[in-house]
Structure 1
Amino acid sequence: MLSQVRDLDLQLLRLFVSVVENGGFSAAQGELGIGQSTISTQMAKLETRLGFRLCERGKAGFRLTPKGEQVLLATRKLFGAIEAFKGEAQGMADKLLGSLSIGLSEALDTQVMERLSAAIGRFRQRNQAVQIELFSAVPGELERRLLQDQLHLAIGYFSDAQAALERSPLFVEPQALYCGAGHPLFAQPNVSREQLRQYDGVHHPYRFIQLDEPWQAVSSSARCEQVEGSLAFILSGAHIGYLPRHIAAPWVARGQLRELLDGRSGEPLDFSVQFHLASHRGRQPSEAQRAFVEDLQQAFA
């Protein structure tokens, strides 16, 4: 009995179908390129493997047994399934599959979002069937999820302290120092560094201190990780602090925020934060992840 289907069995079954389609052993010789005796030997070997006769051959001519007819139907189904598999496998060879979980830093600029959406659009034009999930959070949470394999990629600003993250620069976000309309400094055109030290600043617990950051609060009774929280503190008129320029811009236009300038030079007390595309250094990226990174880097080039 046939307990396993081996390569040899497939060869014998193909010979069997050829014999049937040609109407007998003699007629199949030309197509198969082998002699009648060899065909007869191969057919006998297949019947031995199956455990029953497939056909009657002799002076009365060639005809299938009832079991032979059933084997013929089953063989054609088998070869049809093999061809379907080959077609699907060939399609999968060039197709991106799987899923991507991508973390985004909060409150990104509209231009950044436009480039991100362009990267997604470019990726969707590929031969792919990939489920993409976008997750927005503060950088500390993005780091945690990357390290715990809950994210494949993350866009944010990250410190150099985490060696497990592989980072590549993506864009910079300008930050400026602001106060609200109710703050004592709001009416002053320029502010000295000495004056700034007197006032309560918003403390951002994750933001790593940069050497070129123009102002650092001496005292702070306001603490917030999210940009929206920092904005609320500054709008209150009780605190000063840094905000991304694109977040502050509409409030400045409405006269509710003002950028603080250096009293000596009249220059902005601003700096830029480098945003990176980060992934876990120890994880092998999928084909889909590599393709998306390529599209993302082109969009931000």
Structure 2
Amino acid sequence: MLSQLHDLDLQLLRLFVTVVESGGFSAAQGELGIGQSTISTQMAKLETRLGFRLCERGKAGFRLTPKGEQVLAATRKLFGAIETFKGEARGMADLLLGELRIGLSEALDNQVLQRLGAAIGRFRQRNQAVQFELISAMPAELERRLLQDQLQLAIGYFSRGQAALDYQPLFSERQQLFCGVGHPLFGHDAIRLDDLAACDLVQHPYRFEEARQPFASGPSSARTEQVECSLAFILSGAHIGYLPEHVAAPWEASGHLRALLPDQAGYQVPFHLARHRGRQPSEAQVAFEEDLLAVFGD
């Protein structure tokens, strides 16, 4: 009785199908390239493996037994399933599968979002069936999620102080110091760096970049991590603070914000693509990183 299927069994079953389709042992010799006695021996081995006769052969000619008919139908189904598997396996060889969870810093420039969209579009042109998830969060939260394997990649302005993470430069954005309508400096003609010392500066708990800010001193009664909240403080006219140029641009154009000493107080903030250095990236992650770097490299 056949309890397990081995390569030899598949070979014997293929011989069996050829014999049936040829109409007998003698007719199958040319198709199989072996003699009739060898075919007979192989068929006997298959019948021994199965535990019953598959065909009658003799003066009356070749014909299948009822069980032989059932084995023939089952064998054709088996070989059909094998061919289907081989075709699907060939298709999967280059198919990118899985899930990609990407973290993004808040309030990204529209041009950055456009490039991110271009990278996603480029990736979708690949042979892939990947589920994407995009998550917006503060840099500290993005790093935490990377460390806890809740994200594969993150784009943001990071401290680069996490030894377990790799950081690759991606782009930079310019930050400027602003005040709003109603602030004493808003209509001041000649502003000096010393004039900023008495101003109430919005503080950012995670803004490690403050160490690089041209102006970082002075009293503060306003504290936030979010860009939108910094904007609200500055628009109040009671505080000055740093904002990305692209965030401030429409408010500056409408006359609600004024840049303070743009040549002296402005500075560049580098954004990085971060990943966990101790995790083996999936094929999909490697491919998407290639697409990201290609788009931002352009």
Pair in the same fold by TM > 0.5: yes
Q: How does 1:26-175 map to 2 (within 5 A)?
A: 26-175=26-175
1:176 is paired with a residue of what secondary structure? strand
Q: Distance in 2 between matches of 1:150 and 1:160?
A: 18
Pairwise CA distance, 1:199: 1.4
Q: Distance in 1 between matches of 2:219 and 2:50?
A: 88
Pairwise CA distance, 1:170: 0.5
Matching residue's letter, 1:148: Q
Are 1:298 and 2:278 matched, yes or no?
no
Pairwise CA distance, 1:160: 2.3
TM-score when normalising by structure 1: 0.96
Q: Distance in 2 between matches of 1:273 and 1:96?
A: 34
Matching residue's letter, 1:273: V
Q: Distance in 2 between matches of 1:160 and 1:123?
A: 27
Question: What residue in structure 2 maps to residue 245 of structure 1?
Answer: 245
2:258 is paired with a residue of what secondary structure? strand
Pairwise CA distance, 1:95: 1.1
Residues 232/40 of structure 1: CA separation in 2 closer, same or farther (3 Å cut) = same
> CA offsets, 1:210-263, max 9 Å, x none?
55420003322111111101101111111111000000000011111100017x
Choose the corresponding residue for 2:284, options 288, 296, 301. 288
2:2 is paired with a residue of what secondary structure? coil
Pairwise CA distance, 1:163: 1.0
Q: Distance in 2 between matches of 1:211 and 1:190?
A: 26
Matching residue's letter, 1:48: T
Q: Distance in 2 between matches of 1:292 and 1:162?
A: 23
> CA offsets, 1:125-144, max 9 Å, x none?
11111111111111111111
Matching residue's letter, 2:101: S
Q: How does 1:166-185 map to 2 (within 5 A)?
A: 166-185=166-185
Pairwise CA distance, 1:119: 0.6
TM-score when normalising by structure 2: 0.97
Q: How many correspondences in the alignment?
A: 297
Question: What residue in structure 2 maps to residue 221 of structure 1?
Answer: 221
CA contact (8 A) 1:155 1:277 kept: yes
Which runs of 5 or more structure 2 residues have no equivalent in the other structure?
Answer: none
Matching residue's letter, 1:239: H
Q: Distance in 2 between matches of 1:211 and 1:221?
A: 19
Choose the corresponding residue for 1:279, options 275, 279, 283. 275
1:220 is paired with a residue of what secondary structure? coil
Aligned-residue CA RMSD (Å): 1.1
Q: Percent identity between the aligned chains?
A: 74
1:300 is paired with a residue of what secondary structure? helix
> CA offsets, 1:43-88, max 9 Å, x none?
1111111111000011111000000000000000000000000000
CA contact (8 A) 1:178 1:240 kept: yes
